Every structure is written in C-alpha cells, then in structure tokens.
A and B are shown apart, each in its own frame.
Chain A
Amino acid sequence: MTDAALAAPPPVTEEVAVQITKMNKWYGSFHVLRDIDLTVYRGERIVICGPSGSGKSTLIRCINRLEEHQQGQIVVDGTELTSNLRNVDKVRSEVGMVFQHFNLFPHLTVLENCTLAPIWVRKVPKREAEETAMHFLKKVRIPEQAAKYPGQLSGGQQQRVAIARALCMRPKIMLFDEPTSALDPEMIKEVLDTMIELAREGMTMLCVTHEMGFAQAVANRVIFMDQGQIVEQNTPREFFNNPQSERTKLFLSQILGH
C-alpha cells in the first residue's frame, strides 16, 4: 500500500456536501423511503447497511437522481435535485457512482471508458483526458490493461476500472452501491484496498456494503436502515460494540454470527 493508504483519514469538515430533508419515496403504492433526514459533511466516509429491501440502495441512487423522490428535499453540493434536467446533469457530473455490476461499456476499451465522460461532459481535450485516465488507472493499479476491452478483464479488475472511470470526472462525492457483492472472494480485497486508499485521501464517500471490515477501517459513521427508515447511526466503534436498537442487534448477530 502507498503512504496515502496508510495515513489516517483527514478530519471531517463542517461544510455540507449532501443535505436530505424529510425525503419520501414510493414505488407505486409501496413506501420505500420514509422521512429520511441525512446530512453528509465533506470528507465523511459513511457506510450504509441493512437487510435487503431496506431501501439503502434506493437512498444513494436518489442522491444522483437515478431514482426520483416524491417528497422532501435533496440538496447536493448546493444544488437542489428537482425535475430541472440542467441541475440533474450538473449534480451527476459532480457525483461519481460505482455499481454492483460494474456497468462498464463493453464496446469501448478501458481507456475509452475512462475518457468518455470527461471529453463529452467536461469538454476536456482528448490528450488531457487520456493523461488523467492513465493517472487514475495507475492509481487503481491496472494501467497495463488500458487498451483491453472490459470483457477481457476479471471482475475485480473491472470494478477497479469502474472506480477509475468515476474518478476521471474528478467528483466531489463518490457513491458505492454494493461494489463487492458481485465479486469472487479473492477479488474483494483488491477493490476494498482501492476504496480504503480513496477514503484516506479525504474523498466524501457513501457506501452501501456489507463489508464490516471496511466500515471499521475507514468509516466515520455507520448507518443502519430497515423498512425504508434510518434506524440507527453511530461511529463504527459504538455501532458494532454497543448497538442500541433490537433490530440492529439482530442484524449484526446475523451477519457477524459465523
């Protein structure tokens, strides 16, 4: 690991990155997110966990409006998310996202995957975009795969490319939606190492994950969700050693039990 990865994460600031107030969302008549209130400060590393169907993925997908909320307010980096498409595109170009199934573009090379959005959204010259892309591919330790197509890489490598692709947009906030859930066990570590390194450089991160080791290593806050609500949030140490609600205790005993 590099020096940056070994250093402790920089302190959390007072500056607000994401402000969610009284947010509600329904799928048809199903109430997926109920009265969510959440403030994320710049530099925070938040891990969101909870049973499946608890709304944790939906919550972070609302932050870049892959899902629309129906009530309440979401303000990302000073821009409120409404049906105004220009605001939505602005927020999306500031917020990077890493998906469970990577979602790389299979018809483009690794390098083209990384330069596409900078060239077309940020209007960066091609040469410069490629230099940035190689910089981040080096950072996720696969510069030698730049000319290959995603289909030729392993799952772990693909997910690292996906992280590099998001970083090439120089985002202020990174969202991770179960980034290691589709990976073979021996590939999880390489992706987590990359994420830990990113956290230690002070990136604002929201991660939906069940990797509790990751939460303990870098998170400054763990949020537990159930039935579309935030049930409990605390520092990782308090959250794991001294959970307050019965629902959290049950969940922790189930995922840490064996």
Chain B
Amino acid sequence: MSELHAQTVAQVRDTMLPPVPPPRRETGAIRWLRQNLFSGPLNIILTVLAIWLLWVALRDVVPWAWRGVWRASSLNECRAIRDQLYPEGTSAACWAVLTDRWRQLVFGFYPASQIWRPPLALVVFLLAVSPILFARLPRRLLWLTPAAPFLIFWLLWGGTIWGPVAAALGFALGVAAFLALSRARYPILALLAGILLPVLYWSFVAGPLARALAGVAPLALPAVASKDFGGFTLSIIIGLSGISLSLPLGVLLALGRRSDMLIISKASVFYIEVIRGVPLIVWLFVAQLILNYFLPRGTNFDLMLRVIIMVTLFAAAYIAEVIRGGLAALPRGQYEAGDALGLTYWQAMQLIVLPQALKISIPGIVNSFIGLFKDTTLVSIIAMFDPIRMASSIRATTAWGGIYWELYVFIGLTFWVFCFSMSRYSIWLERRLERGHR
C-alpha cells in the first residue's frame, strides 16, 4: 500500500449532514399504492381484477340496500311504496320488517312491559366481567362479580329475589366451610364439607328460607317463563353463559388430561373424546328429549337450563383441547422451576403455568368462543326461538310472507358485530400481554 493511498483512506468528518426528507415519490399514498397495488405486471392485473370483482359484487347490493323502505306494515305495502318511488323493475330492500318486528327479533316473546330487564342484565354482566377483561379497572368492581350470576338470573326470569339470594347463600356457606377447615389443616374434610354442606342446605333449608323471607319482604319482579325467551336475547344468554362457564371447566379438563393421576387423566380423555366426537345437534336432542328419562319422575328441568348445560359441556371439551396445546407449548423448565421453589401443584398452576398457557391459547380460545356463539342458532332445531327460527316464524305470517334477504342480512350482520368484537378484544389482549421475546 502506498503512502498516498494511506492518505486517502484516513478520514475525519468535520461537518455533519443534516437529515433530509425522502424524495416525494417515496412517501405517502403514492408510495403505498406503488408498493402494494402496482408493483409489477401481475400485481397490476390482480388489482384491476379485484376492483372489477368488487364492482360486480356491490353494484346491485349497495343500491338495493340504500333504496330500502323503512316504514311499512307488510311486504305488500313495502312493494307499493317502492313502486311509487322508483321506476318499475327497480329492486329495493324492505327494511320495514326489522322496524316492525324488531322486538321479536331482539327479545322474542319477552313481555313488552318488561323488556328493560334483559339489557339491564347484560349491563350487569358486562360490569361483572369488565375487571376480569381489563386489568386497569379498579379492583373494587370484582365485588360485584360473584353476586352477578344471581342478580342476572333474577333480572331475566323474575320471581321473588329471595330464591337467588337463598341459592347464593349456599355457595357462601360452602366457601366459608372450606376456608375454615382448610385453615385448620383438614384438607379432605374441608373439601367434603365444602360440597356436602351446600347440597344439604339447598335440599332442605334454601326453599323454606326463601319462602319465609318472601313472606317478610315480598321483593319480586313479574316472572317470565323460559319459553318466552327468544331472538338475540336467547342467543346471548346461551352464548355468554356457555362462554363464561366453559372456560373454567375447560381449564380443569385440560389439567386433568395432563395429570399424573391415571383415573383423572383417563376420565378427562374419555369425556373430551366422547363430547367432541358427537355433533352438537345430537347433544341438543339429548338435552331436549333423553335427559328427562334419566331424571327422577316429576322433575321438570327447565329446557333452557338443560341447553345451557349442554352447550357449556360441549364447548368445554374444545376449550380443554385448545388449552392443552398451550400447556404443551410451555417448556418443561417452567414446571421444574415451580417445583424447585417448593410451590404446590395448584400454586404452580395458578401462578406460573396457567397465566402463560392461557396467553398462548388466546387465539384458539376466542376461536372456540366465536364458534360456540354462532352454534347457539342450532337450538332452533329443538323448538327454541333463536333469531333464525324467529325469522322463519316472521316469514310465516301473512304480512311478511315471502321476505327473506332483509331478515337474514340483519341477523348475519348482528352476529358478525359480536364475533368481530371478540376477535378485536383478543388481539388487544395478546398485545397487552406481550412480554418481550423469550
């Protein structure tokens, strides 16, 4: 290397360059279009094709929906209004069926004077789950959560408030007995007392107690029978109960399936495989018809309750498998670290394993929940008036015979809004739980 070359290699910068904005064609909308839509011949063809397809799909639907008639009391009236407004042969939606029949679609046959109750119950539910869904909310809200199921039940079905209160006392009794005895270090006795005391109480004390209290303070709402529930109220009740009950059950089943205890693990596997291997419709028929044969003669177990239990049991099997995937994805070292620190099995599960496994399983869990919520429409087959069956019955009336698109578009969109919100929430939750790379 020559000395001259060495001089050209050594370098010291004495003025720093100021930052300069990028060239115009490399920023903003133009750059985005170039990169994403027109980056090459194939891409240009695909873009044009996609625009054409969108045009074909929407050119009739959008005007049809836009021209829609909102005020009419029958399909014929709808058509008359349409023919007045538009030249002959123009198509227009008849949204009037929704304004005319919205109460049935949303509340089923719930008494008209009482329809404030289901939305209030929904508000109570949302308040009760909000501290669980959003960790930033004040923890004080959690006090409502254990009481919420009883309050919701009372709001929806009505009757005296003392029935749910007496039932809730049973749970409180069980928990108190369990805590007192496990603090005194009798774990097995505590578990037995925690289960037996409430059962005895419910069988012999709860009924008379509720009646006595109702005699003293008759605080009651008009009772609503299960057969009067319908429309989206029915779907949401079944869906949300199924969702909130199947998650804890699914967690227990997933832990059971991975348990070292042979009987528990085999029982979990058996349950999951049997429930999952049979279509939900069959289980719903079981709930409707066969279950009554097994119950003592004379007990008339509410059909809606039976359906909620079936849907919960069905969804729990799927949730269990999703969570099992999350449990399997955790490195063995996490379990070992918990063991090595002297944590008990349940402490390790609660503090270390489940928080991580559930986080991994969020997409799968929400996927199952969305499936469960949409599957609630299957109850139309066992004579329950979910939105689909309600739509059929509206179409069977003389006023609205022959209408179909408008009802199903509305039902479909409403389901989509619910499912899409769940999906957005899950994405938000995944981002919030992000903890750097592992």
**Which A residues fall within an 8 A CB radius of B?**
64, 66, 89-90, 92-93, 95-97, 99, 101-107, 116-117, 120-121, 149-152, 165-166, 169
What residues on A are CB-neighbors of B355 within 8 Å? 107
Q: Give A216 Cβ to nearest chain B Cβ, in Å.
A: 28
Knowing that A64-B339, A105-B337, A116-B343 touch, tell me 10 more A-B residue pairs with CB under 8 angstroms: A89-B342, A92-B341, A97-B337, A99-B333, A101-B331, A103-B336, A104-B337, A116-B341, A150-B436, A151-B438
B433 contacts the other chain (CB 8 A): yes
Do A106 and B438 touch across chains, with their CB atoms under 8 A apart? yes
Q: A107-B356, A116-B351 in contact; A92/B435 too (CB < 8 A)?
A: no
Q: How large is the interface on B (under 10, 10 to 19, 20 to 34, 35 or more residues)?
A: 20 to 34
Residues on A with C-beta less than 8 A from B436 are 106, 149-152
Main secondary structure on B side of the interface with A: helix
Q: With CB as the reference atom, state the residue of chain A lying closest to B347.
A: A120
Residues on B with C-beta less than 8 A from A166 are: 340-341
The answer, among B334, B343, B344, B435, for a CB contact under 8 Å with A103, is B334
| B435–A106 CB distance below 8 A | yes
Contact A117 B435 (CB under 8 A): no
State which residues 129-170 of B face A: CB under 8 Å.
Answer: none
Please pick, from A99, A120, A121, the residue contacting B337 in the complex, using a CB distance under 8 A.
A99
Give the residues in chain A near B339, CB-CB below 8 Å. 64, 66, 92
- Report yes or no: B333 in contact with A101, Cβ–Cβ below 8 A: yes
Q: Does B352 contact A (CB under 8 A)?
A: yes
Partner of B340, one of A92, A102, A104: A92
| Residues of chain A contacted by B359 (CB below 8 angstroms) | 107
Task: Specify which chain B residues have a CB less than 8 angstroms from the CB of A121 in the assembled complex.
Answer: 341-343, 347
A101 to chain B, nearest CB (A): 5
> Cβ of B437 < 8 Å from any Cβ of A?
yes
CB contacts (< 8 Å) of B342 on chain A: these are: 89-90, 92-93, 117, 121, 169
A103 touches B433 (CB 8 A): no
Is there contact, CB below 8 Å, between B337 and A93? no
Report how far A102 CA is from B438 CA in the complex, Å.
11
A117 touches B343 (CB 8 A): yes
- B344 proximity list for chain A (CB < 8 A): 89
Q: Give the distance to chain A from B232, nearest Cβ to Cβ, in Å.
A: 37
Interface residues of B in 337-375 (CB under 8 A from A): 337, 339-344, 347, 351-352, 355-356, 359
Q: Which residue of chain B is the closest to A121 with respect to CB atoms?
A: B342
How far is it, in angstroms, between the C-alpha of A66 and the C-alpha of B341 when the chains are bound? 11
Q: How far is the CA of A117 from the CA of B86 in the complex (A)?
A: 75
Of the residues B341, B356, B435, contact of A149 by C-beta under 8 Å = B435
CB distance from B261 to the nearest CB of A (A): 12
Taking the closest CB of chain A, its distance from the CB of B91, in whole angstroms, is: 55
Which residues of B sit under 8 angstroms from A116, Cβ to Cβ? 341, 343, 351-352
Are B437 and A103 in contact (CB-based, < 8 A)?
no
Contact assessment for A106 and B356 in the assembled complex, using a CB-CB cutoff below 8 Å: yes
Top 9 nearest A-B pairs (CB, nearest first) are A151-B436, A93-B342, A103-B333, A103-B337, A92-B342, A117-B341, A97-B340, A121-B342, A149-B435
A-B contact pairs, 28 of them (CB 8 A): A66-B336, A95-B340, A97-B337, A99-B333, A99-B337, A99-B340, A103-B334, A103-B337, A104-B337, A105-B334, A105-B337, A105-B352, A105-B356, A106-B435, A107-B355, A107-B356, A107-B433, A107-B435, A116-B341, A116-B343, A117-B342, A120-B343, A120-B347, A121-B342, A151-B436, A151-B437, A152-B436, A166-B341
Chain A residues within an 8 Å CB radius of B437: 151
A151 B333 Cβ-Cβ under 8 A? no
Q: Are B340 and A120 in contact (CB under 8 A)?
A: no
Query: Do B347 and A64 touch across chains, with their CB atoms under 8 A apart?
Result: no
A224 to chain B, nearest CB (A): 25
Q: What residues of chain A lie closer than 8 Å to B352, measured between beta carbons?
A: 105, 116
Distance in angstroms from A123 CB to nearest chain B CB is: 12
Q: Which residues on the B side are within 8 Å of A102 (C-beta)?
A: 333
